[in-house]
Amino acid sequence: MMDKIGDSVKYIQQFINDEPIAGIILGSGLGNFTNEILIEHEIPYGDIPHFPVSTVEGHSGKLIYGVLGGKKILAMAGRFHYYEGYSTQDIIFPVRVMKALGIKTLLLSNAAGGTNPDFKVGDLMIITDHISFFTPNPLIGKNISELGTRFPDMTEPYKKDLIVKAQTIAATAGFDIKHGVYISVTGPTFETRAEYQLVKILGADAVGMSTVQEVIAAVHMGLPVFAVSVITDLGIREEENAITHEEVLQAAKTAEPKLTHLFKELVSQL
Ligand code: HPA
């Protein structure tokens, strides 16, 4: 694993002149975010040694190096999901590579189904905590002690100081921002009505098919994390409630300007 990380790092370092301060992983339908980045280099995942290649619609599959909010960053346009058939090792590999390239903070976004009755489609939810029991833990297997400890503490996977900064940014910009617990599922099916109810009973406010494994890998390496869900559908409606990928992408697009502002400001304050 360390050799593979080293190969990827060596390849990417040809294209970057400064240590990136943050890594950003973008969720479904949030590709326009990259328009805000002053791009210095775009590296297709397929060119990077040992990188998996993204396949899902709405994900373009490239690593972007550039400037956001006046700071050097790496952004992943397209991420790897368990439901696509990738191993957990594949899913977290880019996080390990970005850490080795010097990032000091990881910012993530995702599309998620809301199960909190106070939420509406298009809301942003700061993830304050997560439940990962429904998806395989990516640290299962021999621990790589160069990266982190065998039994990582998970009492504060999402850094409080970053959450406070984000709340201030949203308040200053005048948009409402929710906070809550995210639960990860494998997908690719959206939840049944009973499953959405279960998610709610378990204490989660939103459910989605990504993020948590990447966060676990980051926390393992001592990398501070901030994450936001875009609420793209509401799983607990009584009425007719079919959810389509197109709807999810559309809702994500609507919320994109808020998310873009939030990430840009947050990065500028890092
Ligand atoms: N469930 C799971 N994943 C999702 C959802 C959902 O309702 N919406 C967007 N991603």
What are the pLDDT digits (tens) for 52-108? 876 655 455 899 999 999 999 999 988 899 999 999 999 999 999 999 999 999 999
Q: Is the CB of 182 under 6 A from ligand 1?
A: no
Q: What is the distance in A from the centroid of ligand 1 to the CA of 13?
A: 35
Ligand 1 within 6 A of CB of 58: no
Structural domains of the chain, count: 1
Evaluate the omega torsion of the peptide bond into residue 188 and state whether it is cis, within 30 degrees of 0. yes
Question: How many Cα atoms are found within 13 Å in the side-chain-facing hemisphere of 49?
Answer: 14
Distance 78 CA to ligand 1 centre (A): 17
Atom 3 of ligand 1, nearest CA residue: 208
C-beta of residue 158 within 8 angstroms of C-beta of residue 128? yes
Confidence of residue 255 (pLDDT cuts 50, 70, 90): confident
- Our answer on whether the CB atom of 191 is closer than 6 Å to any ligand 1 atom is yes
**Which residue of 233, 234, 241, 254 sits with most ligand 1 atoms within 8 Å of its CB, as the best mutation to test the pocket?**
233
Question: Quick one: which atom of ligand 1 is closest to the CA of 208?
Answer: 3
- Domain hosting 227: range is 2-268
Pocket test for ligand 1, best of 59, 193, 198, 243 (most atoms within 8 A of CB): 243
For residues 26-36, average pLDDT: 77
Count of beta carbons in the 10 Å neighbourhood of residue 104: 13
User: What average pLDDT is seen over the chain?
Assistant: 91
Give 237 Cα–ligand 1 centroid separation in angstroms. Answer: 14
Pocket test for ligand 1, best of 135, 190, 245 (most atoms within 8 A of CB): 190
Residue 244: predicted pLDDT: 74
User: What pLDDT is stored for residue 218 in this prediction?
Assistant: 98
- Is any ligand 1 atom within 6 A of the Cβ of residue 111? yes
149 pLDDT more than 70: yes
Which pLDDT score is estimated for 78? 84
What CATH number is associated with residue 194? 3.40.50.1580
Cβ of residue 127 lying under 6 Å from some atom of ligand 1 = no
Q: Are strands 71-77 and 178-184 parallel, antiparallel or unpaired?
A: unpaired
What pLDDT, on a 0 to 100 scale, did the predictor assign at position 241?
A: 61
**113 CB within 6 A, ligand 1:** yes
User: What does pTM read for this prediction?
Assistant: 0.93
CA of 234 to the centre of ligand 1 (A): 9
Token pair listed for 267: 């990065």
